[in-house]
């Protein structure tokens, strides 16, 4: 038996620069100046530690409290090797407390940490446990929102291209900003448009018609509300490839989206949809519906590593989203927003080795629950 003896959560708020004017991803949230992350650290009786991450950002305090007060007591003293059983015995009793949001984010963190432990116990990287090869990957640059400032968009798209990124994503929602990005790079480079659910179907269809011949790689989450997959399918019928999935958490959400014909690309988020186990279920389902997988990964913690290992486990080239921002300190060796490729090492588990000395000034809170 490999008993879970100690559970720690660490909340970090890491300031960053964007290379342009500061805005929130959602205008109502104000300028986004720090990335909030919730890390989970599980210790076991055989002397190992496993790292996981729950979706954070403005919901970081929610995921943190769920981990500390609801989830940790259910894990202590249990066998860390039985991943699916550990998740199931939390997920079932808690099913009425939110099938999206902090509960699912917390479960995702646990799953990731248990897989990290599994790799360390086996003495091999998680991507090898998952049957992957080599661990060499391509990143795509995910730009911050510059609030429609076309000069800042063009400048930062060109800067990303200068670092070698050939797939670059905007978080703008105006056609002039889209076109400023398109014109800032070569025709063969991919420009993706993430608009974060702003429009009615009619508005989204009109935009899709307007940009149909501008050769954008995808249009992401075009309609409000995000769960209206029939509406998304109507927009998709205009001919612009559609991406979504970061707001889907349980498998039946993904199935509903695929059944509706809503997406060309699905973007499951490992720290929201059930960790590495949840992602593998989505991968299998996406294969059954012939939907391309492009994971969501707008974070830097163990969830970033988990995404990379999952991408490396796939037979198809799978992009790793990387926030195109400069943090106050570099959190660890793997996160590099100036490198368009990524090479996982043969380190056992996820290989998450943060520079905690450098991160210390940005730790918001730390909590330990032990047996
Ligand atoms: Mg998005």
pLDDT tens-digit map of 121-161: 999 999 999 999 988 899 999 999 999 999 999 999 999 99
* 350 found inside a domain: no
189 CA → ligand 1 middle, Å: 19
Provide the domain count of the chain.
Answer: 2
Are 247 and 327 contained in the same domain?
Answer: yes
Q: For the chain, how many residues are written?
A: 371
| Cα(219) to centroid(ligand 1), Å | 10
Residue at 351 is within a domain: no
299, part of any domain: yes
Q: Is the pLDDT of residue 37 over 80?
A: yes
Same domain (yes/no): 45, 111: yes
How many angstroms does the Cα of residue 270 sit away from the middle of ligand 1? 13
| Residue 222 Cα to ligand 1 middle (Å) | 10
Tell me the CA–centroid distance for residue 220 and ligand 1, in Å: 6
Distance 3 CA to ligand 1 centre (A): 37
Q: Tell how far the Cα of 35 is from the centroid of ligand 1, in angstroms.
A: 15
CA of 278 to the centre of ligand 1 (A): 19
In terms of domains, do 173 and 313 share one? yes
Asked whether residue 298 is domain-assigned, the answer is yes
- The rounded Å distance from CA 296 to ligand 1 centre is 7
Tell me the pLDDT tens digit for each residue of 222-248: 999 999 999 999 999 999 999 999 999
Give the model's pLDDT for residue 29.
77
Where does the chain show beta strands of DSSP type E?
4-17, 34-44, 49-54, 136-142, 167-170, 190-194, 218-220, 242-244, 265-266, 292-293, 320-323, 326-327, 341-343, 363-370
Average pLDDT (284-288) is 98
Residue 22 has pLDDT above 90, yes or no: no
**Distance in angstroms (rounded) separating the CA atoms of residues 220 and 294:** 11
Residue 348 lies in a domain: no
230 with 287, same domain? yes
Residues 49 and 155 in one domain: no
What CATH number did the domain enclosing 332 receive? 3.20.20.120
Residues 197 and 320 in one domain: yes
How many Å lie between the centroid of ligand 1 and the Cα of residue 48? 34
* SS3 category, 369: strand
User: What is the CA(183)–ligand 1 centre distance, in A?
Assistant: 22
pLDDT, position 31:
84
Query: 221 C-alpha vs ligand 1 centroid, how far in Å?
Result: 7
Q: Do 151 and 268 sit in the same domain of this protein?
A: yes
The pLDDT assigned to 99 comes to 93
Q: Which residues of 24-56 are buried (b: 16+ CB within 10 A; e: fewer)?
A: beeeeeeebeebbbbbbbbbbeeebbbbbbbbb
Q: How far is the CA of 295 from the centre of ligand 1 (A)?
A: 10
pLDDT band at 294 (very low <50, low <70, confident <90, very high): very high
Distance 357 CA to ligand 1 centre (A): 31
Expressed as residue numbers, the domain containing 137 is 127-343
CA of 319 to the centre of ligand 1 (A): 14
- Are 193 and 284 members of one domain? yes
The verdict on 83 and 141 lying in the same domain is no
Q: Please state the rounded mean pLDDT for residues 256-275.
A: 98
Is residue 28 scored above 80 in pLDDT? no
Determine the distance separating the centroid of ligand 1 and the alpha carbon of 247, expressed in angstroms: 9
Q: What's the 172 CA to ligand 1 centre distance in angstroms?
A: 11
Q: Is residue 279 part of a domain?
A: yes
Q: What is the CATH number of the domain that holds 106?
A: 3.30.390.10
- Using the mean position of ligand 1's atoms as its centre, give its distance from the Cα of residue 194 in Å: 5
Would 273 be classed as within a structural domain?
A: yes
CA of 76 to the centre of ligand 1 (A): 35
The confidence band for 23, taking pLDDT boundaries of 50, 70 and 90, is confident
Q: Tell me the pairing of strands 34-44 and 190-194.
A: unpaired
Same domain, yes or no, for 138 and 261? yes
Q: What is the band of 1 on the pLDDT scale with cuts at 50, 70, 90?
A: confident
For residue 246, how far is its CA from the centre of ligand 1 (angstroms)?
6
On whether both 229 and 320 belong to a single domain, the answer is yes
349 found inside a domain: no
Position 302 pLDDT exceeds 80: yes
Same domain for 84 and 142, yes or no, is no
């Amino acid at each position: 038996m490999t008993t879970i003896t100690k559970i720690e959560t660490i909340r970090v708020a890491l300031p960053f620069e964007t290379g342009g004017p500061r805005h929130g991803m959602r205008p109502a949230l104000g300028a986004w100046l720090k990335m909030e992350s919730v890390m989970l650290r599980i210790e076991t009786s055989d002397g190992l530690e496993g790292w996981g991450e729950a979706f954070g950002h403005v919901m970081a305090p929610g995921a943190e409290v769920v981990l500390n007060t609801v989830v940790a007591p259910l894990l202590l003293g249990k066998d860390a090797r039985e991943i699916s059983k550990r998740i199931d015995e939390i997920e079932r009793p808690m099913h009425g407390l939110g099938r999206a949001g902090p509960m699912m984010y917390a479960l995702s963190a646990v799953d990731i940490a248990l897989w990290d432990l599994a790799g360390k116990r086996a003495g091999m990287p998680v991507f090898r446990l998952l049957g992957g090869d080599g661990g060499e990957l391509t990143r795509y640059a995910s730009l911050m929102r510059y609030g429609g400032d076309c000069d800042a968009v063009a400048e930062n798209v060109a800067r990303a291209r200068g670092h070698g990124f050939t797939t670059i994503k905007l978080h703008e929602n105006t056609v002039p900003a889209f076109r400023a990005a398109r014109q800032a790079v070569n025709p063969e480079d991919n420009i993706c448009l993430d608009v974060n659910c702003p429009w009615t179907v009619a508005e989204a269809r009109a935009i899709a018609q307007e940009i149909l011949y501008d050769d954008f790689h995808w249009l992401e989450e075009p309609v409000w509300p995000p769960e209206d997959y029939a509406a998304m399918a109507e927009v998709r019928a205009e001919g612009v490839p559609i991406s979504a999935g970061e707001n889907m958490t349980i498998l039946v959400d993904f199935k509903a989206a695929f059944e509706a014909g809503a997406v060309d690309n699905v973007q499951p988020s490992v720290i929201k949809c059930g960790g590495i186990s949840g992602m593998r279920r989505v991968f299998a389902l996406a294969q059954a519906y012939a939907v391309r997988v492009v994971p969501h990964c707008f974070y830097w913690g163990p969830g970033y590593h988990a995404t990379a290992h999952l991408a490396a486990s796939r037979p198809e080239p799978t992009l790793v989203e990387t926030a195109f921002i400069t943090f106050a300190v570099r959190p660890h060796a793997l996160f590099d927003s100036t490198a368009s490729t990524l090479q996982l090492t043969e380190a056992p588990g996820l290989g998450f080795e943060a520079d905690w000395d450098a991160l210390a000034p940005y730790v918001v809170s730390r909590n330990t629950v032990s047996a």
